[in-house]
Structure 1
Amino acid sequence: MSQTHLFSLPQSEPAAADRVTLFADVILPLPLPKLYTYRVPFELNDQVVIGGRVLVQFGAKKTLSCIVAAVHETPPKDYQAKYILEFIDDAPVVTQPQLKLFRWIAEYYMCTLGEVINAALPSALKLSSESRVQLHPQYLSEGTPYPLSEQEQKIVEALGTEDGKALTFSEVGEILGISSFHKVIKSLIQKDVVFLFEHIADKYAPKVVKKVRLAHHFVAEAALEGLFENLASKPKQLDVLMRYIQRVPVYQNEHANHTGLEKAALTSSPHLSPSAVNTLIKNGVLEQFDQIVSRFPLDEKEGNQMPFELSEAQTKARDQVLELFGQKDITLLHGVTGAGKTEIYIDLIRKALEGGGQVLYLLPEIALTAQIVTRLMRVFGSRLGVYHSKFSDNERVEVWNGVLSGRFQVVVGVRSAVFLPFDSLSLIIVDEEHESSYKQYDPAPRYNAREVALMMGTFQGAKILLGSATPSVETYYQCRAGRWGLVPLTKRFGEAGLPEIELIDTRRNAQQGQKKPSHHFTPELTAAIEGRLSQGEQVILFQNRRGYSPFISCLDCGWIPKCKSCAVSLSYHKNAHELRCHYCGHHEVMPRECPACGSRAIRAMGFGTERIEDDLKLMLPEANVQRMDLDTTRAKNAYQQIISDFEQQRTNVLVGTQMVTKGLDFGNVSLVGIINADSIIHYPDFRAHERAYQMFVQVSGRAGRKGKKGKVIVQTGDPQQPIFDKVMRNDYQDFYEYEIAQRREHMYPPFARVIKITVKHVEERMALEAAVLLTQELVERLGRDAVLGPEAPYIFRIRNFYLQEITIKLSREHTVLKHAKAQILEAITLVRDEKDFRQARIVADVDPM
């Protein structure tokens, strides 16, 4: 959004006879159960737009921006409506299809519209009394051609010339000595003197680069020759001028000089003097100016034609998808790993764009976007936008506005991309649709992006393509029932075959007393790694636990350090030399001696990705080993760098958590090792076997691409587990038949809807008592068979709150589900209103993963 549209100037006041008193229902970015109604000032009647932002006073002092949800002439009955303070937008930033979707999310996931808006909007589109003003870069470099009033001049003087200085709204009011100061800020914004940003977010301002151009009076050929003569005795300045002329052909095209050249192109050159550049600017030979540029350097490139041809199997699958789209709105592309689903997606996106529609391409992990965006950019160029949480708030706002304006016709992103302001979607692709990463856990809304995408498609008439080698049981059930389309893709792309899978019994090795370099690498896995690396091939090792070790222990007294706020042991992170809680973030220094007995016999127990990386570097000193987990990918471009290093074969072995299992495509990987398969299978959850099967198949799929025969080595203490046989045979059908029978017998999804209620309290007794009362209320409303619990979860205390869980199973019928949710909310409200339980937190999670 451009700075000039932050506020709209009021129009002249209409005649009294024409006056209509309007009211606006607004969505405040707060967890409030209903919308609030504000009065529209008469002079702004013509400017109010549904989906636009307005500034309102909420409470005694707080100022908030909110979204207009409805405009009408009915005043509120229970309170006196306050006036809207200002209109921020003269066009919607939230579209009508979005508002409809947001209402559905709030209703389905049992949260408030304010919580949905708070999650949906980038921080820079949310203003409050904590919002701040700062001098605009353009004003700092060029000033303003507009006169400033006395009040405006006061603000500018208060901001001074110090780079980065900012004022809060309340400070502006104090400086001016008035309470109604928003018009002053609005005027300064329209004159490009200041801009607004949210205190808790990145400063919202356009990206500005410094550029230089030849002063206008030197552009003529005669003047330029005279300039060369004058600089003949100043070789450094002459070199700078020559480089500029080489890069900007002013002789051939005088207008090229107007665009100029980035200053960094001159100052960063090792052959040119930065001081000479600055001297030319000081002497008026070069003019320095600021230019607003895109934060996405790739999006200026034009896409080319599709750089590949679909294989016969891919073409057949593509045609089947299109045929099914003529009959059904949702289709599953069930393709084995490495079958080339991405190429089919790209072909379908091209066809959708040719029809004039928008496309949303969802991925479960940021790690996948690094690889796929490069491929998509070659085809779609500047029409492609990318949206995920690693982007700065400025970048997310640019994508948001790019979708609004139609600049981005295709968006690839993770789950939060479902909130973008699409209004003409024709195709939604949900890749790796089975992934639990599509589910938001905290805070509300606790939505599943796959389910939201399905509803988006319904609201906008878009076709939806789900893709997976290991689809969720619920998705495959819908396909088998005939409600959704199903397209199988059973062969890998090209000459690549499915990898060979070998199970290694770790208990048998231990009983035989086999020597090995490290207790978490069997001799078979060690030999395989060394053999593949000797052939110039690459290896991926998967361990579903980060850190150096899950816990440390005193060998003399058995002491194990626990988190002070959570019922878990602290994990040891060797690089940081500290103990960390993976639930609340608490960390402390690694002790040198046991605080219980004073012994120094403290040892790291078990192993995580960091320890595997360490041991590999000792075992294979010539190999380049990298790790990809939450600890190594916190920086913005860390994913991309790690993946790029592995793609370019600068890395020989990649060690990682679930991140390495999800859709990554590396042509030189011939071996995948699963270090500890048992930790994935044995988990107290009805989806444990489904997740294990999916993870084993997905990580195995990273091996043996582009014609190379791959191998997967699975280390397990229980090789007789039935799930391993299904993975080795790549038999999804057998897995599905077993799993669906279990779900039917115990009434779990897809045969029921599950809602998990978590009761939290700082006192263990109060958490249990509140949960018991809530259970009684739920049983009265829903029946005993529908309500399970309460019971304490495996990790019963997190962030100082004791937890109790209640599980509710409901019929899948829409009317029954809607009524039941109302009953649940009624019961929750009753418990919250009890004096003893007002400090309790009660969270409803619909369709928990």
Structure 2
Amino acid sequence: MSIPSGHGLVRVVLPVPLRREFDYLCPLPLPEPGCRVWVPFGNRKLVALVVGHPSDPDIDTAKIKPVECRIDAAPVLGPAELRLLNWAARYYLHPPGEVYFQALPTLLRKGEAAAYRRLEYWHRLASDRAPPAQAIRQRQALELLANGPMTQGELAARGIAGTVLANLAKNALAEKREHLPEPRDWRSPPPGPQEERPRLTTEQALAVSLVQQASGFSPFLLEGITGSGKTEVYLQAMEPVLASGRQVLVMVPEIGLTPQTIARFQRRFGLPICTLHSALSERERLDAWLSCRDGSAAIVIGTRSALLTPFQWLGLIIIDEEHDASFKQQDGFRYHARDLALLRARQQDIPILLGSATPSFESLHNAASGKYRLLTLSQRPAGATTAEHRLLDSKHVQLQAGLSPQLLALMEQELAGGNQVMLFLNRRGYAPVLLCHDCGWLADCERCDAHYTWHKSRQRLHCHHCDHQRPLPPACPQCGGNQLLGTGLGTEQVEQALTGLFPQYSTIRIDRDNTRRKGSFEQHLDGIRAGKYQILIGTQMLAKGHHFPDVTLVAMLDVDGALFAGDFRATERFAQLYIQVAGRAGRASKPGRVILQTHHPDHALLQDLANQGYHHFAHTALAERRRAGLPPFSFQALFRCQAPQQAACQAFLQHLTQQLHPQLPAAVLCLGPFSAQMERKAGQYRYQLLLQSDQRRELALACRRALAIIDTLPAARKVRWSLDMDPQELW
């Protein structure tokens, strides 16, 4: 049956877990690719995104449903974004609808208009009357409004309550009107630095010059030791891009790093900056997304998903801490923002700058093979010193809450000199295990193959894997004994011990438990910088990117477990963490010391890091990876599955493996199926199957064949499964 007169076909993607696109009838003129429409799907009505206009003359239109209505008059995603998302869906072998809709704010996924929120402003009205003399606040409000309209929030910040405004409106002295925000034209006149730039080192100046002179797609890797001034290189590399009226995307790994980054960028340029991260409300995110798309934001600072945002005039991408694992999405559409950013830069023919004190092995390999231009910052700016590294042997030593006498003596020395000390322990709570001294009972999580962590301050047991909590039992549930003891070390325990050992100094603990309240993390950081606290205890939250000029001693506690982990990436992650934590010491003019307290001071990894540094360690480890045929010298894909029944997982992956083996290309190695290191988590058994090849195309072919087999397996309906291309961690 031919297409009805006055109609055409639109090809759309839908937010459903199906690896295909769908065709619908639509009246002419057809909506452009990137527009949204409402369509019927089964017994539901869904928002769909148009991606093309098929022209198959033989299509059976009797089976094709019509579009219900259009949502957008103009595309919400442009050709550049559609091209990027199409590539991502094909590379990661993920349902295209889920990929495309990842690039849309939640409100647009729900069918809301792609429009800014209307802001309400109070206006002063012309009138011969005036408020009564005793109505002081009303008079103040009118004086403020005489200078121009103001929002209720701006008036409230000046002490004008809503009741005051209501009285002004009642007496026809002021009224509230809706306004659409007016985009600021920051491109004319061209912006320039708003503050004096610091003097660059020779290495910084060379790096800035090379990035500024780059034209077209030019990937750079900036490897700079902590405190070497990478952010200043970013800022000066951005100047000609902004001066030419183009936007800059700055990607950071965590929300916690954005406030200080925004403040510094704002001081330097005085240009419109918008942020994109998960802490924004749905409305805030849509407004920020629109300001990127429409070009009213000059600088966009965001976490992983900011990479998928449309830009009007994108001219440069910067990825800070490019090695950070948070750039890899670990559920749903499992993309790597760093890798997709490189593709986006190539597609849009613009430079991209990756920065880190501890570059990922993939990036170092790309630099060594000539795919990236390597820029090095090996020194800190004038006045800053490089910290001394020292390993403390904790064997045969009496520890107090995990602290050796040598470490306590070093702390006392630094504190007496008016400095701050930082202790790093990546384990919150009081103790990671609670046991009964009488019978040996352990407080195990009922839903995971893991122990509860004892949180002494809240008298709770908390599983940090599934988030299940329960009250601390008054006695042993097994024998009734009352000698329940904590085993192992947590940040709470260290804090309690140091408060007793150093009562004359103020101690602060920073971890997820005591930074839940909005704004508390920033308040703690401000207190540290102001010198309110002398002893700092924290997890990774405290280790990344913060500048504490008075911290002269940094110590890492209880990290030996990372030396013997099963994941081949574990040593790389440990080395990156070690260098990041060490970088908090001696960042200003004061000399710094880094102490790693360990039972294995002769371990080759620790000796290499302490004496030779990350770069030497990384190249030694890369040589080992090459010999073992591991990434980045090969490519991997991981099929994961989980189910409440162990047998369901095993049956699914065994059936998949049996049918896949005869179809595997010769260059692809199949490993598994095998259980996760923590086999049961949150009541779900977890198993996985790993495919590996030194040829990316052959690996993709094997994965497509595996997906086709899964579509025919009845066992697949009894499990939740996923495919992770280029996995960064095994379960």
Cα distance between partner residues in 2 of 1:277 and 1:478: 61
Instruction: Confirm whether residue 797 of structure 1 aligns to residue 686 of structure 2.
Output: no
**Structure 1 residue identity aligned to 2:100:** I
Residue 312 of structure 1 corresponds to 201
Instruction: Confirm whether residue 509 of structure 1 aligns to residue 385 of structure 2.
Output: no
**Structure 1 residue identity aligned to 2:395:** R
Residue 192 of structure 1 corresponds to none
Cα distance between partner residues in 2 of 1:738 and 1:267: 60
Residue 713 of structure 2 corresponds to 834
Alignment of 1:218-233 (within 5 A): 218=128, 227=130, 231=132
Residue 434 of structure 1 corresponds to 323
Residue pair 1:207, 1:294 contacting (<8 A) in 2 also: no
TM-score (ref. length: structure 2): 0.91
Residue 722 of structure 2 corresponds to 843
Q: Aligned to 2:572, what secondary structure does the other structure show? A: helix
Q: Aligned to 1:539, what secondary structure does the other structure show? A: strand
Number of residue pairs matched by the alignment: 720
Residue 343 of structure 2 corresponds to 455
Point out where structure 1 has 5 or more consecutive residues left out of the alignment. Answer: 1-16, 129-194, 198-203, 251-255, 511-515
Q: Aligned to 2:678, what secondary structure does the other structure show? A: coil
Residue pair 2:691, 2:699 contacting (<8 A) in 1 also: no
The alpha carbon displacement at 1:74 in A equals: 4.0
Q: Which has the higher helix share?
A: 1
Cα distance between partner residues in 2 of 1:674 and 1:526: 13
Cα distance between partner residues in 2 of 1:273 and 1:585: 42
The alpha carbon displacement at 1:324 in A equals: 7.9
Provide closer, same or farther for how the CA distance between residues 654 and 84 of structure 1 changes in structure 2, counting only shifts above 3 A: farther
Residue pair 1:671, 1:710 contacting (<8 A) in 2 also: yes
Cα distance between partner residues in 1 of 2:118 and 2:524: 27
Larger-gyration structure (1/2): 1
Residue 465 of structure 2 corresponds to 583
Provide closer, same or farther for how the CA distance between residues 50 and 622 of structure 1 changes in structure 2, counting only shifts above 3 A: farther
Cα distance between partner residues in 2 of 1:268 and 1:737: 55
Provide closer, same or farther for how the CA distance between residues 835 and 827 of structure 1 changes in structure 2, counting only shifts above 3 A: closer
Q: Aligned to 2:478, what secondary structure does the other structure show? A: coil
Cα distance between partner residues in 2 of 1:841 and 1:274: 52
CA deviation string 1:296-340 (max 9, x = no partner):
9x9xxx985243234132543324533883597211111111100
Residue pair 2:444, 2:450 contacting (<8 A) in 1 also: yes
Residue pair 2:215, 2:351 contacting (<8 A) in 1 also: no
Q: Aligned to 1:445, what secondary structure does the other structure show? A: coil
Q: Aligned to 2:227, what secondary structure does the other structure show? A: coil
Q: Aligned to 1:770, what secondary structure does the other structure show? A: helix
**Structure 2 residue identity aligned to 1:703:** A
Residue 775 of structure 1 corresponds to 657
Q: 1:91 aligns with which of 74, 90, 110?
A: 74
Identity, in percent, stands at: 31
Q: 2:100 aligns with which of 98, 117, 131?
A: 117
Provide closer, same or farther for how the CA distance between residues 206 and 533 of structure 1 changes in structure 2, counting only shifts above 3 A: farther
Cα distance between partner residues in 2 of 1:315 and 1:820: 45
Instruction: Confirm whether residue 68 of structure 1 aligns to residue 50 of structure 2.
Output: yes
Instruction: Confirm whether residue 731 of structure 1 aligns to residue 613 of structure 2.
Output: yes
Residue pair 1:337, 1:469 contacting (<8 A) in 2 also: yes
Instruction: Confirm whether residue 378 of structure 1 aligns to residue 267 of structure 2.
Output: yes
Residue pair 2:423, 2:538 contacting (<8 A) in 1 also: yes
CA deviation string 1:444-486 (max 9, x = no partner):
2111111111111111112111111111122112211222211
Q: 2:636 aligns with which of 754, 769, 781?
A: 754
Cα distance between partner residues in 2 of 1:562 and 1:391: 36
Residue 168 of structure 1 corresponds to none
The alpha carbon displacement at 1:548 in A equals: 2.4
Q: 1:287 aligns with which of 175, 194, 213?
A: 175
The alpha carbon displacement at 1:743 in A equals: 0.6
Residue 483 of structure 2 corresponds to 601
Residue pair 1:391, 1:636 contacting (<8 A) in 2 also: no
The alpha carbon displacement at 1:684 in A equals: 0.7
Provide closer, same or farther for how the CA distance between residues 277 and 361 of structure 1 changes in structure 2, counting only shifts above 3 A: closer
Residue 170 of structure 1 corresponds to none
Residue 669 of structure 1 corresponds to 551
CA deviation string 1:109-152 (max 9, x = no partner):
22111221343322111117xxxxxxxxxxxxxxxxxxxxxxxx
My pick for the range that moved more, 274-283 or 650-659, is 274-283
Cα distance between partner residues in 2 of 1:534 and 1:86: 72
Provide closer, same or farther for how the CA distance between residues 317 and 641 of structure 1 changes in structure 2, counting only shifts above 3 A: farther
CA deviation string 1:371-403 (max 9, x = no partner):
111101122334322111111121111111011
Residue 215 of structure 1 corresponds to 125
Residue pair 1:310, 1:343 contacting (<8 A) in 2 also: no
Instruction: Confirm whether residue 34 of structure 1 aligns to residue 17 of structure 2.
Output: no
Residue pair 1:328, 1:485 contacting (<8 A) in 2 also: no
Q: 2:305 aligns with which of 409, 416, 425?
A: 416
Residue pair 1:321, 1:331 contacting (<8 A) in 2 also: no
Residue pair 1:544, 1:680 contacting (<8 A) in 2 also: no
Residue 176 of structure 1 corresponds to none
Cα distance between partner residues in 1 of 2:320 and 2:384: 21
Residue pair 2:192, 2:243 contacting (<8 A) in 1 also: no
Alignment of 1:644-793 (within 5 A): 644-780=526-662, 781-783=664-666, 786-793=669-676
**Structure 2 residue identity aligned to 1:105:** A
Residue 253 of structure 2 corresponds to 364
Q: Aligned to 2:262, what secondary structure does the other structure show? A: helix
Cα distance between partner residues in 1 of 2:517 and 2:394: 36
**Structure 2 residue identity aligned to 1:472:** S
Provide closer, same or farther for how the CA distance between residues 262 and 93 of structure 1 changes in structure 2, counting only shifts above 3 A: closer
Q: Aligned to 1:709, what secondary structure does the other structure show? A: coil
**Structure 1 residue identity aligned to 2:126:** H
Residue pair 2:217, 2:346 contacting (<8 A) in 1 also: no
Provide closer, same or farther for how the CA distance between residues 836 and 332 of structure 1 changes in structure 2, counting only shifts above 3 A: closer
My pick for the range that moved more, 496-505 or 603-612, is 603-612
Residue 499 of structure 1 corresponds to 387
The alpha carbon displacement at 1:645 in A equals: 2.9
Cα distance between partner residues in 2 of 1:678 and 1:73: 62
Residue pair 1:303, 1:382 contacting (<8 A) in 2 also: no
Q: 2:42 aligns with which of 39, 59, 73?
A: 59
Provide closer, same or farther for how the CA distance between residues 704 and 766 of structure 1 changes in structure 2, counting only shifts above 3 A: same
**Structure 2 residue identity aligned to 1:486:** L
The alpha carbon displacement at 1:685 in A equals: 0.9
The alpha carbon displacement at 1:784 in A equals: 9.2
Residue 569 of structure 1 corresponds to 451
**Structure 1 residue identity aligned to 2:305:** S
Residue pair 1:370, 1:643 contacting (<8 A) in 2 also: no
Q: Aligned to 1:433, what secondary structure does the other structure show? A: coil
Residue pair 2:217, 2:352 contacting (<8 A) in 1 also: no
**Structure 2 residue identity aligned to 1:429:** I
Residue pair 1:268, 1:274 contacting (<8 A) in 2 also: no
Cα distance between partner residues in 2 of 1:462 and 1:327: 5
CA deviation string 1:770-797 (max 9, x = no partner):
2222223333214597011222121011
My pick for the range that moved more, 521-530 or 470-479, is 521-530
Instruction: Confirm whether residue 243 of structure 1 aligns to residue 140 of structure 2.
Output: yes
The alpha carbon displacement at 1:420 in A equals: 0.4
The alpha carbon displacement at 1:636 in A equals: 4.7
Residue pair 1:97, 1:423 contacting (<8 A) in 2 also: no
Cα distance between partner residues in 1 of 2:508 and 2:14: 45
TM-score (ref. length: structure 1): 0.79
Cα distance between partner residues in 2 of 1:422 and 1:290: 27
Residue 109 of structure 2 corresponds to 126
Residue pair 2:234, 2:318 contacting (<8 A) in 1 also: yes
CA deviation string 1:649-698 (max 9, x = no partner):
33333322222222222222212111112133221111111111111111
Cα distance between partner residues in 2 of 1:614 and 1:770: 49
Cα distance between partner residues in 1 of 2:285 and 2:570: 35
Cα distance between partner residues in 1 of 2:137 and 2:641: 69
Q: Aligned to 1:666, what secondary structure does the other structure show? A: coil
Residue 174 of structure 1 corresponds to none
**Structure 2 residue identity aligned to 1:32:** L
Cα distance between partner residues in 2 of 1:363 and 1:25: 35
Cα distance between partner residues in 2 of 1:117 and 1:638: 35
Residue 117 of structure 2 corresponds to 206
Q: 2:354 aligns with which of 459, 462, 466?
A: 466
